[in-house]
Structure 1
């Protein structure tokens, strides 16, 4: 599961990191509280090479008559994505990378209090979430939408959640984006144990209206 994340790199730096041309519609960064239905930074590949573009986080299948015409599809499970009506075609033909610098997960106390954790790469590099995308709506109002592919959590992340985003290493970007043809199925596995680290952060991030770098500041586990 991935329901909230951060993006703190400047747009130009994102483009350089992923060797992608930056569209003039990409959203403002930094954003320390990226929420479902927000516009997010997405790398996709086409005839003219890689592009960094804006997409709605919340995949809209073609048969949805409105944006609220069905469940909000922000994640797609790696185990079933190829056979799901909503995602199957996109998994084969429209794979993408969502750019992040970190993401949040929550644990619960015995009393039911939600405690947020911030997760990032140990090496400080941007995180490449595997994703799928779909254009939706009539031509005059068409929008691109996307979802993050998830896998079972590795041992590291299973301490706080049973699912994790599918994280792609640089050597696998081209294969996932379809630049090397088919054969991306072997990439659908949990990330290596040593690539991520996490720490507790203030409960302010529990609100989707919260913002600012203080949301990712480390908080002692005993606090609050």
Structure 2
């Protein structure tokens, strides 16, 4: 699972890196910690317009969702599993017709020293906290209202040590595969191949951060939330 991310880059840096333009620049705000459970906007490059960046509300709404509040209470669609993407009634249409790249410069995963104890959040990032993208799928629920799910898959050896309970990881797409994920001509076999082979080749780094990340009523959208803490001696 992946329910928390960061995107702290300035808008000009994002546009330069992606070669895409933010359609609604007035709504973009950098963040150091964003929780999917608040259903915030993520910033995404859609398959049908790969030269723009759109705000998409985190948590895909199904086309048949009549009442948003009722749907959100019944379904957690922050993540979509790669293994069932093409067979799930919730996700299969979007996976074939509405794929996207979700922009980020880091994300947080829970690590358990003891499986019965509390989790310590780990911040995961590339060297220099470079910008990258997750594989995502989206729906257009209403005009100018997009919703998105972030795709996860079975963890590799590195992330299995960090996310050591459920052993999942978000599908961070290697830059060489970003164009393939957005290719409108990709068939089911091609989708499955990208899901299986496109994970970031560049190694991730990770370190423990404060458990305040999980507390209510604490402002976690600060640079300090990314700082390494010493309560856990491990460093991946």
Give the alignment's TM-score, normalised by structure 2: 0.85
**Corresponding residue for residue 184 of structure 1:** 191
**Corresponding residue for residue 203 of structure 1:** 211
SS in structure 2 at match of 1:59: coil
Deviation at 1:125, TM superposition (A): 2.0
Deviation at 1:24, TM superposition (A): 1.7
Q: Which runs of 5+ in 1 are unaligned?
A: none
Tell me the distance in 2 between the aligned counterparts of 1:131 and 1:164. Answer: 13
Deviation at 1:210, TM superposition (A): 2.0
SS in structure 2 at match of 1:189: helix
Matches within 5 A, 1:6-85: 6-25=6-25, 27-36=27-36, 37-46=39-48, 49-68=50-69, 69=71, 70-85=74-89
Tell me the distance in 2 between the aligned counterparts of 1:194 and 1:9. Answer: 19
SS in structure 2 at match of 1:188: helix
**Corresponding residue for residue 150 of structure 2:** 148
Deviation at 1:21, TM superposition (A): 1.8
RMSD between superposed Cα atoms in Å: 2.1
How many correspondences in the alignment?
Answer: 219
Tell me the distance in 1 between the aligned counterparts of 2:122 and 2:174. Answer: 23
Tell me the distance in 2 between the aligned counterparts of 1:214 and 1:174. Answer: 34
Q: Is the 8 A contact 1:25 1:54 kept in 2?
A: no
For the pair 1:212 / 2:222, whether they are aligned, the reply is yes
Instruction: Point out the structure with the larger helix share.
Output: 2
Which deviates more, 199-208 or 95-104? 199-208
Tell me the distance in 2 between the aligned counterparts of 1:222 and 1:105. Answer: 14
Q: Is the 8 A contact 2:34 2:221 kept in 1?
A: no
Deviation at 1:115, TM superposition (A): 0.8
**Corresponding residue for residue 118 of structure 2:** 113
**Corresponding residue for residue 165 of structure 1:** 170
Q: Is the 8 A contact 1:201 1:216 kept in 2?
A: yes
Q: Deviations over 1:179-212 (max 9, x none)?
A: 5644232121373575211001111211364220
Deviation at 1:128, TM superposition (A): 0.8
Q: Is the 8 A contact 2:208 2:229 kept in 1?
A: yes
Change (3 A) 1:94 1:188: same
Q: Deviations over 1:3-56 (max 9, x none)?
A: 100001112221221111211256433201112100111111336x42111000
Q: Deviations over 1:103-160 (max 9, x none)?
A: 00112343622211100013632121000000114x5xx6200000111000001002
Tell me the distance in 2 between the aligned counterparts of 1:23 and 1:194. Answer: 29
Which deviates more, 30-39 or 77-86? 30-39
